[in-house]
Amino acid sequence: MASIRELHQQLITKQRSSVEITQKALDRIEAVEPTIRSFLHVTPEYALEMAQQVDGKIAAGEEIGLLAGIPIAIKDNMCTKGIPTTCASRILENFVPPYESTVTQKLKDIGAVMVGKANLDEFAMGSSTETSAYQVTANPWDISRVPGGSSGGSAAAVAAEEAVVSLGSDTGGSIRLPASYCGIVGMKPTYGLVSRYGLVAYASSLDQIGPFGKSVEDAAILLSAIAGYDPNDATSLKVEIPDYTQFLKPNLKGIKIGIITETFGEGLDPIVAETVNTAIAQLKTLGAEIQEISCPRFRYGLPTYYIIAPSEASANLARYDGVKYGFRSDNPDNLLSMYKKTRATGFGAEVKRRIMLGTYTLSAGYYDAYYLKAQKVRTLIKEDFENAFGKVDILVCPTAPTTAFKVGEKIADPLTMYLSDLMTIPVNLAGLPGMSIPCGFDDKGMPIGLQLIGNVLREDRIFQVAYAYEQSTEWHKEKPPLS
């Protein structure tokens, strides 16, 4: 599938209509979806109607934006008015939101064409898209492997060319990990840069919506469209949003890059280490100054996250009780019985595990020992990053310790599964922007991601480094061996 800019050019010169482009995406979905299973809901009528509106504007001589008429997939934890939003959970099986999330409304307003709602780990809790109550999405590079999580459906849809770009959400690595596993670009912006209004909450101090694309430029165009202040989100930042494509420059002269030494140790696959080191050497040839940087508290990110995130989830998911909306169990004896049966039947094992973990750490007698201490460690992790950014512009490390693993390989061992997010979690705890870009393949032909981390609101630098690297290599042009 062509890039956003190429498709835009075809639209404005009337080489192709938005209906043709959209129909091609829908045909592709029909062809590969039985194998990949990226989508929970495909919306052909809605998509073609939006495409017709864009074609009408072009015919009337109106100017259109870059994303108008472009097929996009939306992670199914963002509210879409009149279209099911399930969070891949049985508890929201029949939930149809009465309102639109801010990000989807922005995309609707500029004429982007939503082709469907993408699969995810239930309530965005997972690293493999295996905790979805409905289906397991396959990795387009090897359908026996996972696409990563929790935004696995969004990443697989872009990698399999079912959509040009997509939206995911990232609480502890849920955009960057699938981007790495699926060989595409995925970005988690600075916390508060993109509105969370209408994003179904998992852990409110960590959640952030971000873009997936086949190229850095596509990700930059999509982020420019969705970022910005929103009075409906109390954590939204009042900042000027630039056109991120203006930072896409081919050289890195004067840019200082730090390698996080703590990420190159135990548990890192040697092929991943070697590939990432080759990518770092390439950054040096592009003019960047490279140095090693220590973030000593980086390794405490994982245990800190698995106290803070479940605690917030425990509070956020208390609203699913069978009273107001969503699933309700049949024939309960009384109100308490209805609560118990609804939540026992409606939630999957991983969601229950995290609710129980969170409720425990927030309970009397354990709050100070766990939750309060975790918040203090979070501050120390943030301090490490602040010190690092006093010396360098960008930090680099592998996105994930390994490449995509086999479906079923880690699902029975939650602790091993949690280790997949080892490199990505500290970025969320500090509220920083991070991006995964493709930088090579392992001996099984599975993609490897390089993670770029910027200081608060320094997406511009991440885009500059990512673009320069991408343009000097061919990794982003590789396509999975899907028929």
User: Catalytic residue numbers?
Assistant: 75, 150, 174
Q: How far apart are CA 444 and CA 440, in angstroms?
A: 11
Q: How far apart are CA 186 and CA 393, in angstroms?
A: 20
* Token pair listed for 377: 């460690």
Backbone angles phi, psi at 289, to 5 degrees: -90, 125
Nearest of 12, 148, 170, 22 to residue 136 by alpha carbon:
148
What value, to the nearest 5°, has the Cα angle with vertex 36 and ends 43 and 166?
A: 50
- Strand-pairing partners, residue 440, are 448
